[in-house]
Amino acid sequence: MGYSASFHSRVLGLCVAGAASAAWSQTLQPVPQADAEQLAERISAWDAARQARPRRVLVFWRCEGFVHGKALEYGNETLTRAGKAFAADLSNDYAVFAPENLAKYDAVVLNNTTALDTREHPFIEPALIGYVQSGKGLAVIHAGADNFYKAERAAEMVGGRFWGHPWGSGGTWAFKLDEPGHPLNRAFGGKGIAFGDEIYQQQSPFYNRAKLRVLVSLDLSDAATAAANGQRRDDKDYAVSWIRPYGKGRVFYTSFGHDQRAFLDKAVVAHILDGIQYAIGDLKADDAPAGLSEADLARVRDASEASANEAFAFLQDIAAHTFHARTEAANRAKLEALLKDTATSAHGKRVILRVMLSMGAPADLAPVAACLTPPETRDWAAALLAGTPGKAAAQSLARALQSPDSALRVTVLNALAIRRDAAAVAPLAADRDPAVVAAALAALGRIGDEEALKTLVKPASAAQEPVRLRALAACLGTLSDQGQARAAVRAAKPFFTEPSHPDAVRAAAARVLLLADNRFFEFGMKDTSPLVRQTVIRAADDVPVNVLADALKTAAPSEQAMLAAKLASRGDAASADAVAALLASEQEAVAVAALQALTRLGAGRHVPAIAALIEREGAVGRSAAETLQDMRA
C-alpha cells in the first residue's frame, strides 16, 4: 500500500509550514507495497509498552548533509504506523523547534538528520536541550549523531557525535549486548547478532561511557568487525545503542538505521521502537549511567602536572552530566576512595579536590585535611574545607593552624576568612610570624563582624599598622553592608573624628556614618580630605536631591563632576538648573559632566547655553554637539 494519503498530506503540510525553511526540499519516495506490508507485520509483532496516556512524537528528518533516503522513507513510514504506541507528526521545517510547538510532544525523534544548521537557526540547541531537561524525550536514529557541529551542548546531550564509519553498509558486523537482560534489549532474546548496517564510531568528549547506559556495542571478538579500517578510538569502545537520563528527561540513541534493513528486521526495529518508548517515558528501564570505570580512575590516579587539567575536564563533564542519583553516589564513593589511596598522585588528588568543589565534600574530611600539607593540593583542600558547612571542616582548618609551616597557615587563614570564623583567626593577629599576622589581620577585615572588630581596633606593631588600618576600613564597610549599622557607627565615629588616622580609614568610617544617617553628607563634604569627600559622594544614593544640588555650589571641581554624575543617576529633572550652572566652568571635566548629566535630566531650557559650547575646542565642544543631537533624537 505504501504511504497513505494522510501521510503525504501530513508531510507536505509540515514541510512547507515555515516560509524561512521553504527553500529546502527533499522528495521521499513511497515505500513499495510489499515492504510496507512487511513493516506493518513487524509493528504488529512488536510488544509495545502500554501508553500512560495518548502520546505524540515529532519526527524530524531534515538533511543538510548526506541524505539517507531509504532510512528516511522506511523510518518515517514505520513511525507513522506505530499508532499503538504513539502518534507521529513528520517535519523537515526548523520552525517546529519553537518551544511552544515542542511542548505539544512527548518526544522528538531525529530520523537520520544530518548537519542541521544551528548557525542560521541558533534557537534549535537551547530549545531542544530545555525540552529534554524539562522531562520530555529525545530519540536519535543513526545519522542523527551527524549533527551539532556548531552546537556542542546538544552533541553532549545526544551522547556522541559522528567520527567516521569504519563499519560500512556493505558489511555484516557482529554486535554484543552489553546488558542481555535489559528491557531495551528484549528484542534480541538475550543474544548478540550479526547484521548488515553502517555503524558510526563516536567522538569524545561527546561520547563518554561513564555518562551513558550502553545497551549494544560492536563485538570486536569477531575478526571481520575488529579488522575494519578507520578505527580511531584508542579505547576500542564502539557503542551502538545507549540510553541516558538528561535533566528530568530521557535520551535514546542507536547507530542502527542507515537504510531500510534496520526497519525491516524484526529485532532491530523492535529495539528502535522500544528506545522511542523509553524516551517517551512509557517503557520503564534502568538508565543509571555506567559511572567511572577502572580505566577512568587510573587516569585520575596517575595524573601528572601535564595531564591534570585534562583529567579535571573529564571528571567535571561526568559530574555535570550524569543526571542519576545512584551513579552520582557511586562516582563520589570511587573518588573518595581514590583521595584516600596513597598510590594516587598529588596532581590526581588535586583533580579530585577541584571536582569536589562542585560535588560537595565527602562525609569523612580526614583525607581532605591531609591534602592541606602538600603544596600541590593545599589551595584546593583549603577551598573545599572553606565551603563545607559544619564543625568538622572548621576543626580541620583550626588544627592546621598549629603547623609550623607559615605558607600553610596563611592559606588556612584565607579559608577561615571565607568561613567568617573570627574566633579562630583573631589569636593569630598576635603571632610571632609577620606573614601570619598580616594574613590574620587581612582575614579579619574580610570577615567584618563585631568579633573581628574587637581585634582590629587595637594598635598593631609599626610594621603591621598599615595592614591593620586597611583591614579596619574593610571591616567597617562590611559591618555596615551586612546590616550591623549600630556596631559599625559606634566603631566608625572615633576613627572619623580623629584626623591623625589615614584617609582610607577615615573615608571608610565616613561611608558608614553616611549610610546610617543622610544628614552626615553635608558634614562629610566639609572635610579637608578629598578622599573623604569623594567617598561620601559615591555613597550618597539616598541623600535628597536638593542637598546634592546645593553641594554643587561650593564643591571642588573634581567633586562637582562627581555630583553631576550622581544627580544624573537620580534622574530628577528638578536638579537640571543646578547642573546647568556648571556649563560655565572653565574645568573641562566639569563642563563635560554637566552636559552628560543634562542629557538625562532634560536640557530643554538650556539649549542656548549648550549650543554656545559647541565652539569650544576639545571634549566640551564634542560633548555639547552630542547632547544637542541626543535631544533631537
Q: 583: domain range?
A: 555-633
pLDDT digits (tens, 9 = 90+) for 253-273: 999 999 999 999 999 999 999
Looking at residue 445, its pLDDT comes to 94
| CATH code for the domain in which residue 464 is found | 1.25.10.10
pLDDT digits (tens, 9 = 90+) for 421-464: 999 999 999 999 999 999 999 999 999 998 998 899 888 898 99
Considering only the C-alpha atoms of the chain, give the largest distance between any 2 of them, rounded to a whole number of Å. Answer: 100
Q: Exposure string (b/e) for 86-115, b if CB count within 10 Å is 16 or more?
A: bebbbbbbbbbbeeebbeebbbbbbbbbbb
Is the confidence at residue 12, as pLDDT, over 70? no
Residue pair 436/426 in contact (Cβ under 8 Å)? The answer is: no
- Cell numbers found for residue 96: 517546529
Three-state SS annotation for 210-221: HHCEEEEEECCC
- 65 & 145 share domain: yes
- Amino acid, res. 174: A
Is the confidence at residue 154, as pLDDT, over 90? yes
Q: Establish if 508 belongs to a structural domain.
A: yes
- Cell numbers found for residue 256: 542502527
Mean pLDDT over each residue of the chain, to the nearest integer: 93
Is the confidence at residue 630, as pLDDT, over 90? no
What SS3 class is residue 141? strand
- Cell numbers found for residue 226: 575488529
- 255 & 339 share domain: no
Residue pair 418/386 in contact (Cβ under 8 Å)? The answer is: yes
User: Which of 476, 509, 543 is the C-terminal boundary of a domain?
Assistant: 543
- 496 & 573 share domain: no
Cβ within 8 Å of residue 365, ≥6 positions away = 385, 388, 392, 393, 396
Residue pair 566/537 in contact (Cβ under 8 Å)? The answer is: yes
- 93 & 177 share domain: yes
What does 335-365 look like in DSSP terms, one character per residue? HHHHHH-TTS-HHHHHHHHHHHHHH---S--
Backbone angles phi and psi of 167, in degrees to 5: -100, 90
- 92 & 237 share domain: yes
Q: Of 535, 580, 592, 595, whose CA–CA distance to 559 is shortest?
A: 535
- 457 & 487 share domain: yes
Q: In whole angstroms, what is the distance from residue 437 CA to residue 410 CA?
A: 9
Cβ within 8 Å of residue 121, ≥6 positions away = 94, 97
CA 326 from centre of chain? 23
| CATH code for the domain in which residue 184 is found | 3.40.50.880
Q: Of 74, 68, 62, 71, whose CA–CA distance to 30 is shortest?
A: 74
User: Which of 498, 518, 543 is the C-terminal boundary of a domain?
Assistant: 543
List strand residue ranges (DSSP E) for 55-119, in order: 56-60, 87-91, 107-111
pLDDT digits (tens, 9 = 90+) for 338-360: 999 999 999 999 999 999 999 98
Half-sphere exposure of 111 (CA within 13 A, CB side): 30
Looking at residue 516, its pLDDT comes to 84
Q: In whole angstroms, what is the distance from residue 35 CA to residue 31 CA?
A: 6
Say which residue the cell 542560521 belongs to. 120
- Cell numbers found for residue 570: 537620580
Q: Which residue did the predictor score with more confidence, 22 or 87?
A: 87
